[in-house]
Structure 1
């Protein structure tokens, strides 16, 4: 009984680590996307300034 609980607790810890990892990956992707968006926006602004 205790053994099974230990295994399930171990699996739960792995599951929590996976969730943390997924959140880290998700937040880094969001940061990258916003970074690229700001680059694209600044590029558009530069091209607009050049046209003016």
Structure 2
């Protein structure tokens, strides 16, 4: 496939995906903020465990 055609098709598909994403309703559950904070705390704890110096 010619590179220009491939690039044009990519741009068309990206525009379609963007329009679909905008049309999709966004609703968050009340627990999403709690899950987000808990997830980052788990990441922080894991990183601390990994970087602990063993004596």
Q: Give the TM-score normalised by structure 2.
A: 0.45
Rg bigger for which structure?
1
